[in-house]
A and B are shown apart, each in its own frame.
Chain A
Amino acid sequence: MENLGPLSEDGLVCLLNHQGEVLQDPTFSPYASHLTPEKLREFWHDMSVLRAWDMEAMSLQRQGELGLWVQSYGQEAAQIGSGHALRDPDFVFPSYREHGVAMTRGVDLPSILRIFRGLEHGSWDPAEHGFHLYTLVIGAHALHATGYAMGMDRDGLVASGDANKDGAVVCYFGDGATSQGDIAESMTFASVNKAPIVFFCQNNQFAISESVTRQTNIPLADRAKGWGMPSIRVDGNDVIACHAVTQWALEYARAGNGPVFIEALTYRMGAHTTSDDPTRYRTKADEEYWIERDPIARLTAYLDSTGELSDEFREAVAGEGKALGARTRESVRGWSKPATLEMFDHVYAQPHSTLQAERAWFERYEQSFADVEAKN
Protein backbone atom coordinates (compact mmCIF):
# COMPACT_ATOMS: atom_id res chain seq x y z
CA MET A 1 0.00 0.00 0.00
CA GLU A 2 1.29 3.42 -0.91
CA ASN A 3 2.09 5.59 2.07
CA LEU A 4 0.21 8.82 1.43
CA GLY A 5 1.69 10.68 4.38
CA PRO A 6 -0.19 12.65 7.00
CA LEU A 7 -0.76 15.72 4.83
CA SER A 8 -2.11 14.01 1.75
CA GLU A 9 -5.34 15.51 0.47
CA ASP A 10 -6.13 12.41 -1.57
CA GLY A 11 -9.23 10.55 -0.54
CA LEU A 12 -10.60 13.20 1.81
CA VAL A 13 -14.37 13.22 2.06
CA CYS A 14 -15.32 16.50 0.38
CA LEU A 15 -18.82 17.68 -0.50
CA LEU A 16 -17.99 21.32 -1.23
CA ASN A 17 -14.62 22.01 -2.81
CA HIS A 18 -12.65 25.19 -2.36
CA GLN A 19 -14.03 26.65 -5.56
CA GLY A 20 -17.48 26.40 -3.98
CA GLU A 21 -18.65 23.47 -6.13
CA VAL A 22 -20.80 20.69 -4.71
CA LEU A 23 -19.36 17.16 -4.98
CA GLN A 24 -21.12 13.85 -4.51
CA ASP A 25 -20.13 11.04 -2.18
CA PRO A 26 -22.19 7.84 -2.17
CA THR A 27 -21.90 7.33 1.58
CA PHE A 28 -21.98 10.85 2.93
CA SER A 29 -24.01 12.98 0.51
CA PRO A 30 -27.23 11.53 1.98
CA TYR A 31 -26.12 12.94 5.34
CA ALA A 32 -26.07 16.43 3.81
CA SER A 33 -29.32 16.18 1.88
CA HIS A 34 -31.31 17.78 4.72
CA LEU A 35 -29.20 20.94 4.57
CA THR A 36 -31.61 23.56 3.24
CA PRO A 37 -30.35 26.96 2.07
CA GLU A 38 -31.58 28.30 5.38
CA LYS A 39 -29.46 25.80 7.33
CA LEU A 40 -26.42 26.60 5.18
CA ARG A 41 -26.94 30.29 5.89
CA GLU A 42 -26.98 29.39 9.58
CA PHE A 43 -23.59 27.67 9.16
CA TRP A 44 -22.31 30.75 7.33
CA HIS A 45 -23.70 32.97 10.07
CA ASP A 46 -22.07 30.99 12.86
CA MET A 47 -18.70 30.75 11.15
CA SER A 48 -18.70 34.47 10.37
CA VAL A 49 -19.76 35.59 13.83
CA LEU A 50 -17.25 33.21 15.41
CA ARG A 51 -14.44 34.62 13.30
CA ALA A 52 -15.37 38.22 14.06
CA TRP A 53 -15.51 37.42 17.76
CA ASP A 54 -12.20 35.55 17.60
CA MET A 55 -10.56 38.65 16.06
CA GLU A 56 -12.06 40.79 18.81
CA ALA A 57 -10.60 38.49 21.47
CA MET A 58 -7.25 38.70 19.68
CA SER A 59 -7.39 42.51 19.86
CA LEU A 60 -8.28 42.40 23.54
CA GLN A 61 -5.23 40.28 24.21
CA ARG A 62 -3.03 42.71 22.26
CA GLN A 63 -4.49 45.56 24.29
CA GLY A 64 -3.48 43.78 27.50
CA GLU A 65 -6.99 42.85 28.57
CA LEU A 66 -6.35 39.08 28.31
CA GLY A 67 -3.27 37.16 29.41
CA LEU A 68 -3.44 34.89 26.39
CA TRP A 69 -5.69 34.08 23.48
CA VAL A 70 -6.10 30.86 21.54
CA GLN A 71 -7.64 31.46 18.14
CA SER A 72 -10.03 29.13 16.34
CA TYR A 73 -9.23 31.05 13.11
CA GLY A 74 -9.26 28.68 10.13
CA GLN A 75 -11.01 25.84 11.95
CA GLU A 76 -14.53 27.26 11.76
CA ALA A 77 -15.86 24.64 9.35
CA ALA A 78 -14.65 21.66 11.35
CA GLN A 79 -16.14 23.12 14.54
CA ILE A 80 -19.41 24.58 13.31
CA GLY A 81 -20.11 21.70 10.93
CA SER A 82 -19.58 19.00 13.54
CA GLY A 83 -21.19 21.04 16.31
CA HIS A 84 -24.43 21.31 14.36
CA ALA A 85 -24.62 17.51 14.12
CA LEU A 86 -24.98 17.29 17.91
CA ARG A 87 -28.27 16.89 19.72
CA ASP A 88 -29.29 17.56 23.31
CA PRO A 89 -28.45 14.10 24.70
CA ASP A 90 -24.93 14.24 23.25
CA PHE A 91 -21.98 15.44 25.32
CA VAL A 92 -18.80 17.17 24.16
CA PHE A 93 -15.29 17.04 25.61
CA PRO A 94 -13.33 19.86 23.94
CA SER A 95 -9.61 20.52 24.13
CA TYR A 96 -9.15 24.31 24.36
CA ARG A 97 -9.64 25.74 20.88
CA GLU A 98 -13.23 24.63 20.28
CA HIS A 99 -14.92 28.01 20.65
CA GLY A 100 -17.06 27.19 17.61
CA VAL A 101 -18.37 24.01 19.16
CA ALA A 102 -18.98 25.91 22.41
CA MET A 103 -21.10 28.34 20.41
CA THR A 104 -23.25 25.54 18.99
CA ARG A 105 -23.76 24.24 22.54
CA GLY A 106 -25.11 27.56 23.74
CA VAL A 107 -22.07 28.68 25.74
CA ASP A 108 -22.01 32.48 25.77
CA LEU A 109 -18.79 33.26 23.90
CA PRO A 110 -17.67 36.27 26.01
CA SER A 111 -17.79 34.08 29.13
CA ILE A 112 -14.96 31.94 27.68
CA LEU A 113 -12.66 34.94 28.09
CA ARG A 114 -13.01 34.79 31.88
CA ILE A 115 -10.50 31.93 31.71
CA PHE A 116 -8.06 33.97 29.64
CA ARG A 117 -8.41 36.98 31.90
CA GLY A 118 -7.34 34.81 34.81
CA LEU A 119 -10.60 35.00 36.73
CA GLU A 120 -11.19 31.24 36.88
CA HIS A 121 -10.35 27.98 35.14
CA GLY A 122 -13.83 27.13 33.86
CA SER A 123 -16.62 29.53 33.07
CA TRP A 124 -19.64 27.38 32.33
CA ASP A 125 -21.54 24.49 33.88
CA PRO A 126 -20.69 21.45 31.72
CA ALA A 127 -23.95 19.67 32.54
CA GLU A 128 -26.03 22.67 31.47
CA HIS A 129 -24.50 22.78 27.99
CA GLY A 130 -23.46 19.17 27.44
CA PHE A 131 -20.04 20.71 26.95
CA HIS A 132 -17.21 19.91 29.34
CA LEU A 133 -14.61 22.45 30.45
CA TYR A 134 -11.52 23.03 28.35
CA THR A 135 -8.61 20.72 29.17
CA LEU A 136 -5.08 22.01 28.71
CA VAL A 137 -3.17 18.82 29.46
CA ILE A 138 -3.09 17.42 25.95
CA GLY A 139 -5.20 14.32 25.50
CA ALA A 140 -6.10 13.88 29.19
CA HIS A 141 -9.78 14.61 28.56
CA ALA A 142 -10.13 11.80 26.03
CA LEU A 143 -10.19 9.33 28.90
CA HIS A 144 -12.87 11.35 30.67
CA ALA A 145 -14.84 11.39 27.45
CA THR A 146 -14.50 7.63 27.11
CA GLY A 147 -15.54 7.02 30.72
CA TYR A 148 -18.48 9.37 30.27
CA ALA A 149 -19.53 7.44 27.16
CA MET A 150 -19.23 4.16 29.08
CA GLY A 151 -21.51 5.72 31.69
CA MET A 152 -24.09 6.74 29.08
CA ASP A 153 -24.11 3.17 27.85
CA ARG A 154 -24.63 1.85 31.41
CA ASP A 155 -27.44 4.33 31.92
CA GLY A 156 -29.34 2.99 28.91
CA LEU A 157 -28.84 6.16 26.86
CA VAL A 158 -27.54 4.30 23.81
CA ALA A 159 -29.34 2.10 21.27
CA SER A 160 -32.73 2.46 22.92
CA GLY A 161 -34.19 3.55 19.58
CA ASP A 162 -35.60 6.71 21.18
CA ALA A 163 -34.05 9.65 19.31
CA ASN A 164 -34.76 11.98 22.22
CA LYS A 165 -32.81 9.76 24.56
CA ASP A 166 -29.95 8.15 22.66
CA GLY A 167 -26.73 10.10 22.74
CA ALA A 168 -23.03 9.87 22.18
CA VAL A 169 -19.89 11.71 23.19
CA VAL A 170 -17.72 13.73 20.84
CA CYS A 171 -14.15 14.23 21.97
CA TYR A 172 -12.13 16.92 20.18
CA PHE A 173 -8.35 16.95 20.09
CA GLY A 174 -5.57 17.92 17.73
CA ASP A 175 -2.93 16.17 15.68
CA GLY A 176 -0.32 16.60 18.42
CA ALA A 177 -2.56 14.85 20.93
CA THR A 178 -2.53 11.66 18.89
CA SER A 179 1.00 11.04 20.15
CA GLN A 180 -0.19 11.06 23.77
CA GLY A 181 -0.61 7.79 25.60
CA ASP A 182 -3.98 8.93 26.92
CA ILE A 183 -5.38 9.03 23.37
CA ALA A 184 -4.17 5.48 22.75
CA GLU A 185 -5.58 4.30 26.08
CA SER A 186 -8.89 6.04 25.32
CA MET A 187 -9.19 4.22 22.04
CA THR A 188 -8.43 0.93 23.80
CA PHE A 189 -11.02 1.48 26.52
CA ALA A 190 -13.58 2.78 24.01
CA SER A 191 -13.21 -0.15 21.65
CA VAL A 192 -13.24 -2.97 24.20
CA ASN A 193 -16.25 -1.37 25.90
CA LYS A 194 -17.97 -0.45 22.60
CA ALA A 195 -18.41 3.02 24.06
CA PRO A 196 -20.58 5.53 22.16
CA ILE A 197 -17.88 8.04 21.34
CA VAL A 198 -16.66 9.93 18.29
CA PHE A 199 -12.97 10.82 18.41
CA PHE A 200 -12.81 14.03 16.40
CA CYS A 201 -9.23 14.93 15.52
CA GLN A 202 -8.77 18.37 14.03
CA ASN A 203 -5.50 17.92 12.21
CA ASN A 204 -4.58 21.59 11.92
CA GLN A 205 -1.09 20.46 10.89
CA PHE A 206 0.73 21.99 13.85
CA ALA A 207 1.42 21.21 17.48
CA ILE A 208 2.63 24.72 18.27
CA SER A 209 5.60 24.71 15.86
CA GLU A 210 5.90 21.01 15.11
CA SER A 211 4.50 19.77 11.85
CA VAL A 212 2.16 16.80 11.99
CA THR A 213 4.95 14.95 10.20
CA ARG A 214 6.72 14.90 13.59
CA GLN A 215 3.76 12.96 15.04
CA THR A 216 3.10 10.40 12.31
CA ASN A 217 4.15 9.21 8.90
CA ILE A 218 0.74 7.85 7.95
CA PRO A 219 -2.63 9.63 7.80
CA LEU A 220 -3.85 9.88 11.40
CA ALA A 221 -7.20 8.35 10.52
CA ASP A 222 -5.40 5.14 9.59
CA ARG A 223 -4.38 4.68 13.20
CA ALA A 224 -7.96 3.75 14.06
CA LYS A 225 -7.57 0.48 12.16
CA GLY A 226 -5.41 -0.81 14.98
CA TRP A 227 -8.38 -0.51 17.31
CA GLY A 228 -10.80 -1.96 14.81
CA MET A 229 -12.92 1.17 14.69
CA PRO A 230 -14.20 2.84 11.55
CA SER A 231 -12.41 6.01 10.59
CA ILE A 232 -13.13 8.86 8.21
CA ARG A 233 -10.75 11.42 6.74
CA VAL A 234 -12.63 14.56 5.89
CA ASP A 235 -11.81 17.92 4.37
CA GLY A 236 -11.83 19.95 7.57
CA ASN A 237 -12.44 23.21 5.74
CA ASP A 238 -15.65 21.90 4.16
CA VAL A 239 -18.44 22.66 6.62
CA ILE A 240 -20.92 20.47 4.75
CA ALA A 241 -18.68 17.40 4.73
CA CYS A 242 -17.68 17.93 8.37
CA HIS A 243 -21.36 18.07 9.24
CA ALA A 244 -22.23 14.98 7.20
CA VAL A 245 -19.47 12.72 8.51
CA THR A 246 -20.14 13.73 12.11
CA GLN A 247 -23.83 13.02 11.61
CA TRP A 248 -22.92 9.58 10.25
CA ALA A 249 -20.51 8.90 13.11
CA LEU A 250 -22.95 10.03 15.79
CA GLU A 251 -25.71 7.82 14.39
CA TYR A 252 -23.29 4.90 14.37
CA ALA A 253 -22.25 5.53 17.98
CA ARG A 254 -25.73 6.33 19.31
CA ALA A 255 -26.96 3.04 17.86
CA GLY A 256 -24.53 1.14 20.06
CA ASN A 257 -21.98 0.17 17.42
CA GLY A 258 -19.04 1.61 19.33
CA PRO A 259 -16.48 4.33 18.66
CA VAL A 260 -15.62 6.14 15.43
CA PHE A 261 -12.52 8.15 14.55
CA ILE A 262 -12.76 11.27 12.39
CA GLU A 263 -9.73 13.15 11.15
CA ALA A 264 -10.60 16.59 9.80
CA LEU A 265 -7.67 17.96 7.81
CA THR A 266 -7.67 21.71 8.34
CA TYR A 267 -5.17 24.49 8.86
CA ARG A 268 -4.50 26.70 11.85
CA MET A 269 -4.58 30.04 10.02
CA GLY A 270 -3.47 31.92 13.10
CA ALA A 271 -0.75 31.26 15.62
CA HIS A 272 -0.93 28.51 18.24
CA THR A 273 -1.59 31.21 20.81
CA THR A 274 -0.78 34.89 21.13
CA SER A 275 2.62 33.84 22.54
CA ASP A 276 3.57 32.05 19.33
CA ASP A 277 5.33 33.26 16.17
CA PRO A 278 4.53 31.08 13.15
CA THR A 279 6.93 33.00 10.89
CA ARG A 280 9.73 31.05 12.56
CA TYR A 281 8.51 27.67 11.31
CA ARG A 282 6.21 28.01 8.28
CA THR A 283 6.27 29.77 4.95
CA LYS A 284 4.17 32.52 3.49
CA ALA A 285 3.48 30.27 0.51
CA ASP A 286 2.07 27.61 2.81
CA GLU A 287 -0.20 30.16 4.48
CA GLU A 288 -1.37 31.50 1.14
CA TYR A 289 -2.18 28.01 -0.11
CA TRP A 290 -4.51 27.57 2.83
CA ILE A 291 -5.99 31.07 2.65
CA GLU A 292 -7.27 29.96 -0.76
CA ARG A 293 -8.97 27.09 1.06
CA ASP A 294 -10.54 29.34 3.71
CA PRO A 295 -13.57 27.51 5.12
CA ILE A 296 -15.82 30.58 5.06
CA ALA A 297 -14.81 31.70 1.57
CA ARG A 298 -15.89 28.48 -0.08
CA LEU A 299 -19.34 28.54 1.51
CA THR A 300 -19.64 32.19 0.50
CA ALA A 301 -18.76 31.21 -3.08
CA TYR A 302 -21.36 28.45 -3.11
CA LEU A 303 -24.15 30.54 -1.60
CA ASP A 304 -23.29 33.40 -3.97
CA SER A 305 -23.46 31.05 -6.94
CA THR A 306 -26.95 29.95 -5.93
CA GLY A 307 -28.05 33.50 -5.07
CA GLU A 308 -28.82 32.60 -1.47
CA LEU A 309 -26.64 35.15 0.28
CA SER A 310 -28.35 38.50 0.09
CA ASP A 311 -26.61 41.76 0.89
CA GLU A 312 -29.12 42.35 3.68
CA PHE A 313 -28.22 39.01 5.28
CA ARG A 314 -24.50 39.70 5.01
CA GLU A 315 -24.92 43.11 6.57
CA ALA A 316 -27.06 41.73 9.36
CA VAL A 317 -24.42 39.09 10.18
CA ALA A 318 -21.63 41.67 10.07
CA GLY A 319 -23.66 43.85 12.42
CA GLU A 320 -24.19 40.93 14.76
CA GLY A 321 -20.46 40.23 14.83
CA LYS A 322 -19.76 43.87 15.68
CA ALA A 323 -22.38 43.92 18.40
CA LEU A 324 -20.98 40.74 19.93
CA GLY A 325 -17.52 42.28 19.78
CA ALA A 326 -18.75 45.39 21.57
CA ARG A 327 -20.53 43.35 24.22
CA THR A 328 -17.40 41.23 24.68
CA ARG A 329 -15.20 44.31 25.10
CA GLU A 330 -17.56 45.80 27.59
CA SER A 331 -17.85 42.56 29.56
CA VAL A 332 -14.12 41.94 29.68
CA ARG A 333 -13.30 45.46 30.83
CA GLY A 334 -16.09 45.33 33.40
CA TRP A 335 -14.95 42.14 35.11
CA SER A 336 -13.40 43.07 38.41
CA LYS A 337 -11.02 40.94 40.38
CA PRO A 338 -12.96 38.49 42.58
CA ALA A 339 -12.56 38.66 46.36
CA THR A 340 -9.18 37.14 47.23
CA LEU A 341 -10.67 34.59 49.58
CA GLU A 342 -12.49 33.01 46.63
CA MET A 343 -9.22 31.32 45.69
CA PHE A 344 -9.85 28.96 48.60
CA ASP A 345 -13.31 27.94 47.36
CA HIS A 346 -14.17 24.52 45.92
CA VAL A 347 -10.83 22.80 46.49
CA TYR A 348 -12.81 20.10 48.26
CA ALA A 349 -16.50 19.27 48.43
CA GLN A 350 -16.16 18.62 52.17
CA PRO A 351 -14.20 20.67 54.70
CA HIS A 352 -10.44 19.99 54.82
CA SER A 353 -8.77 21.08 58.05
CA THR A 354 -5.47 22.20 56.51
CA LEU A 355 -7.20 24.36 53.93
CA GLN A 356 -9.60 25.77 56.51
CA ALA A 357 -6.72 26.73 58.80
CA GLU A 358 -4.81 28.42 55.98
CA ARG A 359 -7.89 30.30 54.82
CA ALA A 360 -8.63 31.48 58.35
CA TRP A 361 -5.02 32.63 58.82
CA PHE A 362 -5.01 34.47 55.52
CA GLU A 363 -8.30 36.18 56.32
CA ARG A 364 -6.84 37.46 59.61
CA TYR A 365 -3.67 38.52 57.82
CA GLU A 366 -5.60 40.55 55.23
CA GLN A 367 -7.81 42.00 57.95
CA SER A 368 -4.73 43.18 59.82
CA PHE A 369 -3.99 45.63 56.99
CA ALA A 370 -7.55 46.90 57.06
CA ASP A 371 -7.26 47.40 60.81
CA VAL A 372 -4.08 49.46 60.37
CA GLU A 373 -5.73 51.56 57.66
CA ALA A 374 -8.74 52.14 59.88
CA LYS A 375 -6.45 53.50 62.65
CA ASN A 376 -4.61 55.90 60.32
Chain B
Amino acid sequence: MLEIRDLHASINGKEILKGINLTVKTGEVHAIMGPNGSGKSTLSNVLVGHPAYEVTRGSVTFNGKNLLEMSPEDRSHEGLFLSFQYPVEIPGVSMVNFMRTAVNEKRKYLGLEPLNASEFLKLMREKRAVVELDNKLANRSVNEGFSGGEKKRNEIFQMAMLEPKLSILDETDSGLDIDALRIVAEGVNKLKTSETSCIVITHYQRLLDYIKPDIVHVLYKGRIVKTAGPELALELEERGYDWIKAENNG
Protein backbone atom coordinates (compact mmCIF):
# COMPACT_ATOMS: atom_id res chain seq x y z
CA MET B 1 0.00 0.00 0.00
CA LEU B 2 2.68 2.47 1.05
CA GLU B 3 6.29 2.32 0.00
CA ILE B 4 8.72 4.92 1.38
CA ARG B 5 12.25 4.85 -0.03
CA ASP B 6 15.18 6.89 1.30
CA LEU B 7 12.95 9.83 2.19
CA HIS B 8 14.71 13.05 3.14
CA ALA B 9 12.76 16.15 4.12
CA SER B 10 13.47 19.49 5.68
CA ILE B 11 11.68 22.49 7.11
CA ASN B 12 13.10 26.01 6.86
CA GLY B 13 16.26 24.49 5.42
CA LYS B 14 16.81 22.16 8.38
CA GLU B 15 16.87 18.48 7.50
CA ILE B 16 14.58 16.46 9.78
CA LEU B 17 14.06 13.21 7.91
CA LYS B 18 17.35 11.64 6.92
CA GLY B 19 16.51 8.62 4.82
CA ILE B 20 13.31 6.87 5.89
CA ASN B 21 12.51 3.44 4.51
CA LEU B 22 9.12 1.98 5.34
CA THR B 23 6.73 -0.45 3.70
CA VAL B 24 3.14 -0.76 4.88
CA LYS B 25 1.13 -3.61 3.36
CA THR B 26 -2.63 -3.73 3.02
CA GLY B 27 -4.31 -4.68 6.28
CA GLU B 28 -1.29 -3.92 8.48
CA VAL B 29 -1.08 -1.72 11.53
CA HIS B 30 2.31 -0.09 12.08
CA ALA B 31 3.31 1.81 15.18
CA ILE B 32 5.98 4.47 14.96
CA MET B 33 7.49 5.38 18.30
CA GLY B 34 10.39 7.50 19.33
CA PRO B 35 11.50 10.30 21.62
CA ASN B 36 10.45 13.92 21.12
CA GLY B 37 11.99 15.63 18.13
CA SER B 38 12.85 12.42 16.31
CA GLY B 39 10.78 13.39 13.23
CA LYS B 40 7.53 11.49 13.82
CA SER B 41 5.21 14.41 13.10
CA THR B 42 7.39 15.55 10.23
CA LEU B 43 6.94 12.15 8.62
CA SER B 44 3.16 12.33 8.87
CA ASN B 45 3.09 15.92 7.60
CA VAL B 46 5.32 15.08 4.65
CA LEU B 47 3.12 12.13 3.71
CA VAL B 48 -0.03 14.28 3.56
CA GLY B 49 1.79 17.06 1.67
CA HIS B 50 2.06 19.89 4.18
CA PRO B 51 3.48 22.85 2.21
CA ALA B 52 5.91 23.87 4.97
CA TYR B 53 8.02 20.76 4.42
CA GLU B 54 10.32 20.18 1.51
CA VAL B 55 11.15 16.72 0.26
CA THR B 56 14.78 16.80 -0.79
CA ARG B 57 15.31 13.18 -1.75
CA GLY B 58 13.58 9.82 -1.99
CA SER B 59 10.25 8.48 -3.18
CA VAL B 60 6.86 7.56 -1.80
CA THR B 61 4.40 5.39 -3.70
CA PHE B 62 0.86 4.94 -2.52
CA ASN B 63 -1.07 2.10 -4.16
CA GLY B 64 1.28 2.29 -7.12
CA LYS B 65 1.01 6.05 -7.57
CA ASN B 66 3.68 8.67 -6.94
CA LEU B 67 2.35 10.28 -3.77
CA LEU B 68 4.81 13.17 -3.75
CA GLU B 69 3.47 14.52 -7.06
CA MET B 70 -0.08 14.79 -5.78
CA SER B 71 -1.76 17.82 -4.23
CA PRO B 72 -2.77 17.39 -0.58
CA GLU B 73 -6.44 17.13 -1.57
CA ASP B 74 -5.74 14.43 -4.15
CA ARG B 75 -3.77 12.45 -1.57
CA SER B 76 -6.90 12.64 0.56
CA HIS B 77 -9.13 11.54 -2.32
CA GLU B 78 -6.77 8.63 -3.00
CA GLY B 79 -7.44 7.44 0.54
CA LEU B 80 -4.81 8.98 2.80
CA PHE B 81 -6.04 10.41 6.08
CA LEU B 82 -4.23 12.18 8.88
CA SER B 83 -5.68 12.44 12.35
CA PHE B 84 -3.98 15.68 13.41
CA GLN B 85 -2.10 15.99 16.65
CA TYR B 86 -3.50 19.51 17.03
CA PRO B 87 -6.77 19.79 15.05
CA VAL B 88 -7.43 23.43 14.10
CA GLU B 89 -10.61 25.32 14.82
CA ILE B 90 -12.49 26.78 11.86
CA PRO B 91 -15.00 29.27 13.29
CA GLY B 92 -18.23 29.76 11.36
CA VAL B 93 -17.94 26.56 9.33
CA SER B 94 -20.35 23.95 10.62
CA MET B 95 -19.19 20.33 10.87
CA VAL B 96 -22.12 19.38 8.63
CA ASN B 97 -21.10 21.80 5.90
CA PHE B 98 -17.43 20.93 6.24
CA MET B 99 -17.95 17.18 6.03
CA ARG B 100 -20.49 17.46 3.24
CA THR B 101 -18.01 19.45 1.17
CA ALA B 102 -15.23 16.97 1.94
CA VAL B 103 -17.31 13.88 1.17
CA ASN B 104 -18.67 15.32 -2.05
CA GLU B 105 -15.24 16.50 -3.21
CA LYS B 106 -14.03 12.93 -2.82
CA ARG B 107 -17.06 11.59 -4.67
CA LYS B 108 -16.44 14.06 -7.47
CA TYR B 109 -12.83 12.84 -7.71
CA LEU B 110 -14.06 9.25 -7.91
CA GLY B 111 -16.64 10.18 -10.56
CA LEU B 112 -19.63 9.67 -8.27
CA GLU B 113 -22.71 11.85 -7.91
CA PRO B 114 -22.76 14.05 -4.80
CA LEU B 115 -24.81 12.81 -1.88
CA ASN B 116 -28.06 14.65 -1.39
CA ALA B 117 -28.93 16.19 1.95
CA SER B 118 -30.88 13.26 3.37
CA GLU B 119 -28.34 10.63 2.25
CA PHE B 120 -25.60 12.72 3.76
CA LEU B 121 -27.34 13.23 7.10
CA LYS B 122 -28.00 9.49 7.30
CA LEU B 123 -24.28 8.84 6.77
CA MET B 124 -23.44 11.39 9.46
CA ARG B 125 -25.72 9.65 11.94
CA GLU B 126 -24.20 6.23 11.25
CA LYS B 127 -20.62 7.43 11.57
CA ARG B 128 -21.24 9.55 14.64
CA ALA B 129 -22.22 6.37 16.45
CA VAL B 130 -18.76 4.89 15.79
CA VAL B 131 -17.06 7.38 18.10
CA GLU B 132 -20.14 8.26 20.19
CA LEU B 133 -19.91 11.83 18.95
CA ASP B 134 -22.67 13.99 20.33
CA ASN B 135 -25.13 15.42 17.82
CA LYS B 136 -24.55 18.83 19.37
CA LEU B 137 -20.86 18.68 18.45
CA ALA B 138 -21.75 17.73 14.89
CA ASN B 139 -23.83 20.89 14.63
CA ARG B 140 -21.10 23.19 15.92
CA SER B 141 -18.34 24.87 13.98
CA VAL B 142 -15.36 22.67 13.15
CA ASN B 143 -13.51 21.99 16.44
CA GLU B 144 -14.58 25.36 17.84
CA GLY B 145 -14.75 25.20 21.61
CA PHE B 146 -14.20 21.42 21.58
CA SER B 147 -12.27 19.92 24.47
CA GLY B 148 -9.05 18.06 23.66
CA GLY B 149 -10.86 14.73 23.81
CA GLU B 150 -13.72 15.98 21.65
CA LYS B 151 -11.29 17.18 19.02
CA LYS B 152 -9.64 13.77 18.80
CA ARG B 153 -12.98 12.05 18.68
CA ASN B 154 -13.96 14.42 15.91
CA GLU B 155 -10.84 13.40 13.98
CA ILE B 156 -11.85 9.76 14.13
CA PHE B 157 -15.39 10.71 13.16
CA GLN B 158 -14.02 12.41 10.04
CA MET B 159 -11.92 9.34 9.35
CA ALA B 160 -15.10 7.26 9.52
CA MET B 161 -16.84 9.62 7.10
CA LEU B 162 -14.05 9.60 4.53
CA GLU B 163 -13.29 5.85 4.71
CA PRO B 164 -9.56 6.16 3.99
CA LYS B 165 -7.34 3.30 2.84
CA LEU B 166 -4.42 4.41 4.98
CA SER B 167 -4.92 6.37 8.21
CA ILE B 168 -2.12 8.07 10.08
CA LEU B 169 -2.90 8.72 13.72
CA ASP B 170 -0.49 11.40 14.92
CA GLU B 171 -0.30 11.21 18.71
CA THR B 172 -4.03 10.69 18.86
CA ASP B 173 -3.61 9.59 22.48
CA SER B 174 -2.04 12.82 23.69
CA GLY B 175 -4.29 14.79 25.98
CA LEU B 176 -6.87 12.03 26.31
CA ASP B 177 -8.12 10.63 29.59
CA ILE B 178 -8.50 6.89 29.83
CA ASP B 179 -12.20 6.83 28.86
CA ALA B 180 -11.71 9.07 25.85
CA LEU B 181 -8.70 6.99 24.85
CA ARG B 182 -10.81 3.83 24.94
CA ILE B 183 -13.61 5.38 22.85
CA VAL B 184 -11.20 6.74 20.26
CA ALA B 185 -9.28 3.47 20.03
CA GLU B 186 -12.44 1.40 19.78
CA GLY B 187 -13.58 3.71 17.00
CA VAL B 188 -10.36 3.10 15.12
CA ASN B 189 -10.71 -0.67 15.62
CA LYS B 190 -14.30 -0.66 14.36
CA LEU B 191 -13.16 1.09 11.21
CA LYS B 192 -10.26 -1.27 10.62
CA THR B 193 -10.79 -3.85 7.88
CA SER B 194 -8.50 -6.24 6.03
CA GLU B 195 -8.51 -3.70 3.18
CA THR B 196 -7.24 -0.76 5.22
CA SER B 197 -3.95 0.04 6.87
CA CYS B 198 -2.96 2.24 9.74
CA ILE B 199 0.13 4.05 10.99
CA VAL B 200 -0.05 4.88 14.69
CA ILE B 201 2.40 7.50 15.89
CA THR B 202 2.76 7.55 19.64
CA HIS B 203 5.11 7.99 22.57
CA TYR B 204 3.45 5.46 24.78
CA GLN B 205 2.43 1.87 24.93
CA ARG B 206 -1.00 2.64 26.37
CA LEU B 207 -2.67 3.37 23.00
CA LEU B 208 -1.17 0.14 21.68
CA ASP B 209 -3.00 -1.77 24.40
CA TYR B 210 -6.12 -0.96 22.41
CA ILE B 211 -4.86 -0.70 18.84
CA LYS B 212 -2.67 -3.75 18.33
CA PRO B 213 0.21 -3.11 15.96
CA ASP B 214 1.64 -5.77 13.68
CA ILE B 215 4.97 -4.01 13.42
CA VAL B 216 6.65 -1.46 15.68
CA HIS B 217 9.32 0.99 14.46
CA VAL B 218 11.50 3.33 16.43
CA LEU B 219 12.28 6.64 14.79
CA TYR B 220 15.32 8.47 16.06
CA LYS B 221 17.12 11.45 14.58
CA GLY B 222 15.22 11.21 11.31
CA ARG B 223 15.86 7.51 10.68
CA ILE B 224 14.09 4.28 11.56
CA VAL B 225 16.63 2.65 13.85
CA LYS B 226 14.73 -0.41 14.99
CA THR B 227 11.87 -2.50 13.63
CA ALA B 228 10.30 -5.46 15.41
CA GLY B 229 7.01 -7.01 16.51
CA PRO B 230 4.61 -5.66 19.18
CA GLU B 231 6.97 -6.79 21.93
CA LEU B 232 9.27 -3.86 21.05
CA ALA B 233 6.63 -1.42 22.30
CA LEU B 234 6.48 -3.21 25.63
CA GLU B 235 10.24 -3.16 25.90
CA LEU B 236 10.27 0.60 25.23
CA GLU B 237 7.60 1.09 27.88
CA GLU B 238 9.79 -0.71 30.36
CA ARG B 239 13.21 0.62 29.45
CA GLY B 240 12.48 4.04 27.94
CA TYR B 241 14.38 5.40 24.97
CA ASP B 242 17.82 5.85 26.53
CA TRP B 243 19.16 2.49 25.38
CA ILE B 244 18.02 3.29 21.82
CA LYS B 245 19.79 6.65 22.03
CA ALA B 246 22.89 4.99 23.43
CA GLU B 247 22.93 2.39 20.67
CA ASN B 248 22.70 5.05 18.00
CA ASN B 249 24.90 7.71 19.49
CA GLY B 250 27.72 5.31 20.14
Pairing of A with B: no
- Chain B positions within 8 Å of A, measured between CB atoms, are none
- Chain A positions within 8 Å of B, measured between CB atoms, are none
